[in-house]
Amino acid sequence: MVSDLASLPPRLLFICTANRCRSPLAEQLMRRAFQRLEVDALVASAGLLTGGFATPSVGVRVASNHGLDLTRHLSVQVGARLVEVSDLILTMTREHAREIVALAPDAWARVYPLKQFTELTDSITLPRRANFRDAAVMVGEARRVNSILGNPSYDAVEDPMGRPTQVWEAVLADLSTHIDRVARSFAPLLRRSHQ
Active site residue 22: yes
The one catalytic residue among 22, 94, 98, 110: 22
User: Which domains are delineated in the chain?
Assistant: 2-193 (3.40.50.2300)
Active site residue 16: yes
The one catalytic residue among 16, 20, 21, 133: 16
Residue stretches of the chain with pLDDT short of 50? 1-3, 5, 194-195
Helix (H) or strand (E) holding 174: helix 165-193
Please give the model's pTM, rounded to 2 decimal places. 0.92
pLDDT by residue (tens digit) across 16-30?
999 999 999 999 999
For residue 192, the model assigns a pLDDT of 52
Of the CA atoms within 13 Å of residue 73, those in its CB half-sphere come to 31
**CA–CA gap between residue 90 and residue 95 (Å, rounded):** 12
For residue 186, the model assigns a pLDDT of 85
For residue 105, the model assigns a pLDDT of 95
Measured in whole angstroms, the distance separating CA 189 from the mean position of its chain's CA atoms is 17
